[in-house]
Amino acid sequence: MNKIIALCLMASIGFTACNNNSAKEEALAKAAALKQVKDSLALDSFRRAEIAEKEQLEQEKLQAQEMETQAARNTSYSEPEQGSQYYEASESNTAPVAASTQKKGWSDAAKGTAIGAGAGAVMGALIDKDKRLRGAAIGAAIGGAGGYAIGRKKDRQSGRVQ
C-alpha cells in the first residue's frame, strides 16, 4: 500500500512539474510575441518617418523648380515693336529673392565659440593669478578655438554646414 501511495505521489509531482514548465513556456512565448509586436510597431514608425521625409524633400524640390521657372519668366522682357517709341517690360526685371533654407538662430559653431571663450576666460583668470587679464585673454582664445572646433563638427553632423 505504501508503494502505491508513493507511486501516485511521484506521478502527481511529475505532472505538476511538467505543467509548470508548460505554463512558464507559455509566459515566455507571450512575452516574446509581445516584444516582437512592439519592435515591429517601432520599425513601422521609423518607416513612416522615412516616407514622410522623402515626400517633404520631393515637395521642396518641386517648389525650387517652380521658383526657378517663375524667376526665368520674370526676367524675360518683351521686345519693342517696330514703329513704337516705347516698349513695356514685363512685370519685374528682377528675380524674386529665393526663400532662405538656412536655419535661424545660432549655429553650433557659434554657440561653442561663445561658451568656450567664456569658460576659457574664467579658467584663465583663475589659473594666472599674477596677471588675470593676460590669463583671461589666453584662456578665451584657447577655449573659443576648442568650442568652435566642437561646434563645427556638430554642424557638419546635423547637415547645417557642408
Radius of gyration of the chain (CA): 37
DSSP symbol at 82: T
Kindly report the CA angle at 149 between 104 and 151, in degrees rounded to 5?
30
Mean pLDDT over residues 118-122, rounded? 95
119 pLDDT tier (thresholds 50, 70, 90): very high
Residues 127-162: tens digit of each pLDDT: 998 999 999 999 999 999 999 999 999 999 988 887
Domain extents in the chain: 1-78+91-99, 106-162
* The three cell numbers locating residue 109: 559653431
Reading the block at residue 64, the C-alpha cell is: 525650387
| Residue 162 pLDDT | 76
Location of C-alpha cell 517696330:
82
Instruction: Give the predicted TM-score (pTM) of the model.
Output: 0.38
Predicted confidence (pLDDT) at residue 85 exceeds the cutoff of 60: no
Q: Where are the alpha helices (DSSP H) in the chain?
A: 2-75, 108-127, 132-158
**Using one digit for the tens of pLDDT, what is the confidence trace for 6-56?**
766 676 666 555 555 566 777 788 888 877 777 777 777 778 888 888 898
Grid coordinates of 107: 549655429
Percent share of the chain, pLDDT over 90: 29
Instruction: Return all residues near 139 (Cβ < 8 A) that are at least 6 apart.
Output: 119, 120, 121, 122, 123, 124, 125, 127
Residues 6+ apart with CB under 8 A from 109: 148, 151, 152, 154, 155, 161
Is the Cβ–Cβ distance between 147 and 113 less than 8 Å? yes
pLDDT at 144: 95
Please state which of the ranges 25-29, 40-44, 99-103, 109-113 shows the lowest mean pLDDT.
99-103
Determine the pLDDT at residue 121.
Answer: 95
